[in-house]
Structure 1
Amino acid sequence: MAQILDSLTNGGLPNLVNLITAVGALGGAAMGLVDTTKLFGGGPSNFGFGYIEQALSPFLSALASSSTPYGKHAILRTLRADWLNGVAKDDQKAKAKSLIQLSLSQIDATALANVAAVDPAALQSAVQKKASSQAAAPEEASALGQFEAVLGAVIDTAYERGDQEYRNASKFLAMLTSVALGAAGGSIVFYPIGHGDLLFCVLAGLIATPVAPVAKDLASALQTAVAAASALKK
C-alpha cells in the first residue's frame, strides 16, 4: 500500500480529491458496464420478474385452460416486455391489473373467486353484468370490489419486491465489476503491485458503487471544508 499512500500524502488535498473523483468514476463505469449487459437477453433486468410471475400465477392459471385469445402466456409476455424495458412501475401495475380484469369476463370466474375468497356466483354475475353495462346488486358489487382489492394488493406487493430484487442485484453486480476494474487498473498503474496496494484497489472498488452518486458533492464539500479551516487559521 506504500505506493498509493505515498502518492496521496505527497500530493495533499488535490490528490485526495482526485481519488474521490476517480472512485466515483469507477463506480459509474461499473454501473454502465452492467447496464450494457441488458443486450444479452435482458441481463440484470431479468431479476425480480420471478416475484411477479409467481404472485400472479393463481390468477393466470384460470386463463391457461380457457379459450380466451389473450391468455396466461400472452399476458406474461406483455408484462415481461414492460419489465425488461423499464416502463414506469405504476404503469406496469395498472396494465397487469387491466389485463387480468379484461380476461375475467371471458372465463369462468369460480377459480379466481376462490383465490380472492369471494362468493363465486356473485363474482361471476357481477362480471357478466359489468360486461353488458348492467347494474350489479350490492352483494355482487361487493364481491367484485373485494376481488379487485385483493388483485391490486397482490400486484403491488409483487412489483415492489421484484423492483427491490432488481435494484439490489444490479448494485451487487456493479460492485463486483468495480472491484474487478479497480484491481485490474491498480495492477497496471502500480505494476508490480504489492499485496497492500492491491487490497487498497479492491477496497476502492467495493465502495465505488455507493460513492458514485455523491462523489462530486463529496469532493466539493471536502474542498470547501479545507478552505474554511485554512481561513480560520489565518
Structure 2
Amino acid sequence: MQNIDMVIAVIAATGGLGLAAMSLVDAFKAVPGGGVSRIGFRHIRDVALLFDTVLERAVGAQWEPVILSHWINGRARSDQIGIVRSLLRLGLNPDTSDQLAAIGNVDPKALSSAAGKLVKGAAMTEAEVNLIGRVEAAVEARLDAAFDLAEQAYRNQARILAGVIAVVLAMIASLLMEARPAISGLEWLDTRLLLGVLVGLLAVPIAPIAKDLVSALTVAASAVKSTRRA
C-alpha cells in the first residue's frame, strides 16, 4: 500500500502543479492590452479585414478594438458573431457593398441596389432580401471558421505556456529541495533536475484528470486489498 500511496501522492501533486501553472496563465490576462487573451485573435482579424471598409463605415477607423474587446472579455461566440453581423448591416451601403459582394459571391450591382434600399428604409423585393441573406450566411461561415481557429490557437498556446511555467516551477522546486554546489556544464543533467523537468512536462496534461486518476487508483487499491484478505 505504501507504493500505491506514493503514486497517488505524486499524481495529486503533479496535477496540482498543472492547475497552478494554468492559473498563472489566466493571471496574465490582467496584463494591459489583454495579455494572453489576445492569443488567437489574429484569425478573427484576418477575416474582419475582408470587410474592413464596411466595419469602418459602421463604427469608424477603430473598429478592431471594438471586436477585440468582446474577444478578450470572453463573450459567447454566437454573441460576438452577432455583433459583427450587426455592424456589417449598419455599415452596408452602396459605397461599401463591393467587399461583401465578393465574400458572398453575388452580383455587386444587385447588392449595391439592395444596400441603397436598406439605407433608405425602402421596401425590398424577395430576391433582394434573399441576396442579403446569402451574404450574411457567407460572412457567418467565415466568422465561424475564424473563431474555430482562434479558439484552437488559444487553447494550444495557453497549454504550451502553462507547460513552460510548470517545467520552470518544477525545476526550481527540484533544485531547492536539497543543497547542492554551483551548477555548471553537464551537472544540469543530474537526476533531480531531470525529475523536475519530467514532472513539469506531465503537470499540465495530468491536471484535468488527476482527480479521476487518484480516485480510480484508490478504488483499485482497496479492491485488491479486499481480495487479498479474502
> TM-score, normalised to structure 2's length?
0.87
Q: Which residue of 2 aligns with 1:4?
A: none
Q: Is contact 1:56–1:154 with CA below 8 Å preserved after alignment? A: no
Q: How does 1:154-173 map to 2 (within 5 A)?
A: 154-173=142-161
Note the residue ranges of structure 1 that are not aligned, 5 or more in a row: 1-8
Q: Is contact 1:60–1:100 with CA below 8 Å preserved after alignment? A: no
Match of 1:19, as an amino acid? V
Query: Which of 52, 63, 71 is matched with 1:83 structurally?
Result: 71
Note the residue ranges of structure 2 that are not aligned, 5 or more in a row: 181-187
Q: Is contact 2:55–2:87 with CA below 8 Å preserved after alignment? A: no
Matched, 1:189 2:177: yes
Matched, 1:208 2:206: no
> Identity over aligned residues, as a percent?
35
> 1-side partners of 2:23 and 2:179: how far apart?
27
> Cα RMSD over matched residues?
2.1
Q: 1:108 to 1:83 in 2, by over 3 A?
A: closer
SS at the partner of 2:80? helix
Q: How does 1:1-234 map to 2 (within 5 A)?
A: 11-40=2-31, 41-64=33-56, 68=57, 70-71=59-60, 73-105=61-93, 107-192=95-180, 195-234=190-229
Over residues 29-63 of structure 1, what are the superposed CA-to-partner deviations in whole Å (9 max), with x where a residue is unaligned? 11111111122232211111111111111211355
> TM-score, normalised to structure 1's length?
0.86
SS at the partner of 1:12? helix
Moved over 4 A (4+): none
Residue correspondences, number:
221
- Cα shift at 1:133: 4.3
